């Protein structure tokens, strides 16, 4: 679909797969992987479709986003609402196929996803709320497979929260002038670009700490911790690409480097689990 970018998939989905691997430190069943994947597709498509619908007026004013499908009239609102409800339907069916607790948490998940697009209208902490929505991916996957909560996925999800918040703060620097002019809430608009980049660095300092603690709590092997080190290296490189006076590489830092981080963490975790079998 024109308004859904494939690159967004490689942010949360690998961490959902990581959680699936860690539930019993073995390869998950084909049934679990199939329905977890469909649940993630449903949640992602619904959330992004809602974001485009709710923000279509803002997107039309912003030169960076004016070319999106809804502002240009390439898609109609009724068509996008159809995507929203079909996607939530897919999420509902997937939750039903996975576990009773996952099904019970379907409505709270919908509410969390629905509220995200409104946060930029009243709080500069919107970046952390976005991090929360993606950080729920490993927690929800764990619940869907095990039918119970645990500390480890919460730690992993908290790491995802800070990772996502950090790179979303960096990306929001591109809209600094527009957000200040239109009264849109963001950390760059509230504190300035240079302080915002320091806040992003702090987030990206905390994220691998939570990733590492997850591995320690679960007693994972050295390959997982090497994966955390790989994530640290990617984040360091990402921040070297972005300067307060030069935001020309923000797009690369946002899409490419973060996609590399999440998929890299997944493959290191997979290797760690396979070696331990």
Q: What is the pLDDT along the chain (277 residues), one digit of tens a residue?
A: 555 555 556 688 999 999 999 999 999 999 999 999 999 999 999 999 999 999 999 999 999 888 888 888 888 999 999 999 999 999 999 999 999 999 999 999 999 999 998 999 999 999 999 999 999 999 999 999 999 999 999 999 999 999 999 999 999 999 999 999 999 999 999 999 999 999 999 999 999 999 999 999 999 999 999 999 999 999 999 999 888 888 888 876 677 888 899 999 999 999 999 998 7
pLDDT given for residue 110 in this prediction: 96
pLDDT given for residue 1 in this prediction: 53
Rounded distance, CA 76 to CA 60, Å? 14
pLDDT given for residue 6 in this prediction: 52
pLDDT given for residue 7 in this prediction: 54
Enumerate the domain spans of the chain: 6-276
pLDDT given for residue 3 in this prediction: 54
pLDDT given for residue 2 in this prediction: 52
pLDDT given for residue 154 in this prediction: 98
Do the Cβ atoms of 210 and 217 come closer than 8 Å? no
Neighbours of 99 (CB within 10 A): 18
pLDDT given for residue 10 in this prediction: 67
Rounded distance, CA 127 to CA 165, Å? 5
pLDDT given for residue 8 in this prediction: 58
pLDDT given for residue 251 in this prediction: 76
Correct CATH for 6-276 of 3.40.50.2300, 1.10.357.140, 1.10.540.10, 3.30.200.190: 1.10.357.140
pLDDT given for residue 195 in this prediction: 97
Looking up tokens 């806040």 gives 199
């Amino acid at each position: 679909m024109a308004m859904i970018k494939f690159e967004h998939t490689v942010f949360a989905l690998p961490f959902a797969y990581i959680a699936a691997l860690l539930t019993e430190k073995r390869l998950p069943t084909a049934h679990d992987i199939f329905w977890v994947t469909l649940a993630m597709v449903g949640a992602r498509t619904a959330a992004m479709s809602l974001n485009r619908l709710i923000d279509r007026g803002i997107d039309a004013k912003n030169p960076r986003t004016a070319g999106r499908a809804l502002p240009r009239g390439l898609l109609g609102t009724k068509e996008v609402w159809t995507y929203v409800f079909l996607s939530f339907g897919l999420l509902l069916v997937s939750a039903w196929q996975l576990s009773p607790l996952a099904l019970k948490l379907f409505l709270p998940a919908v509410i969390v996803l629905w509220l995200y697009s409104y946060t930029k209208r009243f709080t500069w902490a919107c970046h952390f709320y976005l991090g929360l929505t993606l950080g729920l991916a490993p927690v929800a996957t764990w619940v869907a497979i095990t039918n119970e909560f645990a500390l480890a996925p919460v730690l992993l999800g908290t790491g995802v929260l800070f990772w996502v918040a950090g790179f979303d703060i960096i990306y929001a620097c591109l809209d600094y002038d527009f957000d200040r002019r239109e009264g849109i809430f963001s950390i760059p608009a509230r504190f300035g670009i240079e302080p915002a980049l320091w806040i992003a660095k702090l987030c990206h300092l905390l994220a691998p700490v939570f990733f590492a603690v997850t591995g320690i709590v679960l007693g994972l092997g050295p390959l997982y911790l090497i994966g955390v080190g790989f994530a640290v290296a990617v984040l360091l490189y990402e921040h070297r690409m972005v300067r307060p006076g030069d935001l020309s590489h923000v797009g690369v830092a946002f899409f490419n480097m973060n996609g590399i981080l999440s998929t890299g963490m997944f493959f290191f975790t997979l290797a760690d689990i396979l070696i331990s079998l």
